[in-house]
A = this chain, B = another copy of it.
Amino acid sequence: MAKKLIEIDFSQPPEAHDCIHNRWHPDIPMYAWVKPGDDFVLECMDWTGGQINNNNSADDVRDVDLTKVHYLSGPIGVDGAEPGDLLVVDILDIGTLEQFQWGFNGIFARENGGGFLTEHYPDARKSIWDFNGIYTSSRHVPGVNFAGIMHPGLIGCLPSRELLNEWNKREGALIATDPERVPPLAAPPCAGTAHMGQLKGDKAKAAALEGARTVPPREHGGNCDIKDLTKGSRVFFPVYVKGAGLSMGDLHFSQGDGEITFCGAIEMAGWIHIRVSIIKDGVAKYAVKNPIFKPSPLQPNYQNHLIFEGISVDESGKQHYLDAHVSYRQACLNAIEYLKKFGYTGAQAYSILGTAPVQGHISGIVDIPNVCATLFLPTEIFNFNIDPCAEGPTKYIKDNDDVPVSYWADK
């Protein structure tokens, strides 16, 4: 195994680690420096920093403090990297940790972040997924077993001060259009729970006041949650500060396109093995604004799908204008209703769409007023046949307990 550049003490909280940070800010010092061509391993906490446990209660998902996330490992400085370069990152491998042979999928309470279908599934829920080598299955979601596509949900370089200012400005302007909204329109800086890595004292406090939250994907990559970014991929990141400052975390064992359950994929602690190199002045050479990447030759090859469609008419029958968000939600709801015919509860079906390698495509986006979004559900992940047939569906899932739920009111 390559040199382990970051090692986590999982008996300690993330805040006890200088190799971890949970905000984006150019002043966070490089935790370690490497040279172009080096390969190395980083350990990562799960995105919540250990707030979620392997048990049958969703209380921890209900009560999670979302101002703390995501806990990232880094930043790593790369000798010679300068603003305007492209940092080439080969994701050579990703793995689980011996002591954490499980991950979690959660649906946040509507009052605490919610999820893509929060109007339909407003309560906090949790499913635990056991890892069996390349496969995963869950005691809370019977009848499915699939090979994961492990990937970092979050990876990117430190922003420059200018870029950080732009983020804060534009997101602040959005929040200002409806500042009392629950959930909020965006996640503004939140100094209280900021953990700035090696940056300490007054400098840390100052940076925390403006440090960008890690929630959204942005120009630098960040929380892209691209399920295909697995071991074997090569990513080209824009560099904004001297040394690049690469950080990553939010490892997923598997995720469906959209990460619709928000909490999200099958979330896990683990390690990632990468190699870095540099394309000098690559941003201008290739007109790169957001990261670009090449996928891996090694991804689960599920070929048999059922494809569900959704259009820009919402559940109430209201017509929207070319709204891909509404369309993809309809495709998801259609798939869930279909799966319920085989015995799943809605929350279980929702969890499947959040965790299994489903694809979400924008199939048609110009035919006014309806976007056609499609959800590709791999049928090979089920232990039974879910294809439509003349006889109608068989209720294979029987007497099953639902995904654990915790109600906000009980808090």
A186 nearest in chain B by CB position:
B369
- Cβ contact within 8 Å between B365 and A217: no
Q: Which of A260, A305, A392 has the most CB of B within 10 A?
A: A392
User: Cα distance A388–B291 when bound, in Å?
Assistant: 12
Our pick among B115, B147, B298 for the contact of A300 (Cβ within 8 Å) is B298
- Cβ contact within 8 Å between B328 and A92: no
Tell me, rounded to whole Å, the shortest Cβ–Cβ distance linking A22 to chain B.
Answer: 15
- Cβ contact within 8 Å between A174 and B325: no
Which of A11-19, A52-60, A239-247, A281-289 contacts its partner? A281-289
Q: Given A224-B372, A324-B324, A370-B218, verify A317-B365 contact (CB < 8 Å).
A: no
- Cβ contact within 8 Å between B216 and A368: yes
CB under 8 Å from chain B, chain A span 296-344 = 296-311, 313, 317-325, 328, 330-331, 334, 337-338, 340-341
Q: Mark A340-371, 1 if CB is under 8 A from B, else 0.
A: 11000000000000000001111111111111
A166 in contact (CB, < 8 A): yes
CB under 8 Å from chain B, chain A span 88-141 = 88, 91-93, 98, 101, 115-116, 132-135
A385 in contact (CB, < 8 A): yes
- Cβ contact within 8 Å between B290 and A297: no
A225 nearest in chain B by CB position:
B364
**Chain A contact residue count (CB 8 A cutoff):** 125
- Cβ contact within 8 Å between B185 and A368: yes
Q: Which of A185, A294, A313, A376 has the most CB of B within 10 A?
A: A313
Which residues of B are found within 8 Å of A46, using beta-carbon distances? none
Q: Which of A221, A224, A366, A390 has the most CB of B within 10 A?
A: A366
User: Cα distance A365–B308 when bound, in Å?
Assistant: 18
User: Cα distance A236–B387 when bound, in Å?
Assistant: 11
- Cβ contact within 8 Å between A311 and B184: no
Which residues of B are found within 8 Å of A134, using beta-carbon distances? 92-93, 231-232, 296, 298
Which of A23-31, A196-204, A272-280, A400-408 contacts its partner? A272-280
Our pick among B166, B307, B318, B365 for the contact of A116 (Cβ within 8 Å) is B365
A183 in contact (CB, < 8 A): yes
Tell me, rounded to whole Å, the shortest Cβ–Cβ distance linking A149 to chain B.
Answer: 9
Which residues of B are found within 8 Å of A298, using beta-carbon distances? 134, 147, 298-301
A213 nearest in chain B by CB position:
B368
Beyond A134-B231, A259-B364, A260-B365, 10 additional contacts (C-beta under 8 Å) are A171-B369, A174-B320, A279-B392, A285-B393, A287-B334, A287-B337, A297-B303, A298-B300, A301-B303, A360-B363
Closest 10 CB pairs of A and B: A92-B133, A93-B133, A225-B364, A324-B324, A216-B370, A285-B392, A287-B337, A170-B319, A360-B362, A290-B309
Sample (29) of A-B pairs whose CB atoms are under 8 Å apart: A147-B296, A170-B313, A170-B317, A171-B319, A174-B320, A183-B368, A185-B321, A215-B367, A225-B363, A226-B374, A227-B363, A259-B365, A259-B367, A279-B388, A279-B392, A286-B388, A287-B340, A288-B334, A290-B331, A292-B388, A293-B306, A293-B307, A297-B380, A324-B362, A328-B365, A360-B361, A360-B362, A360-B363, A385-B385
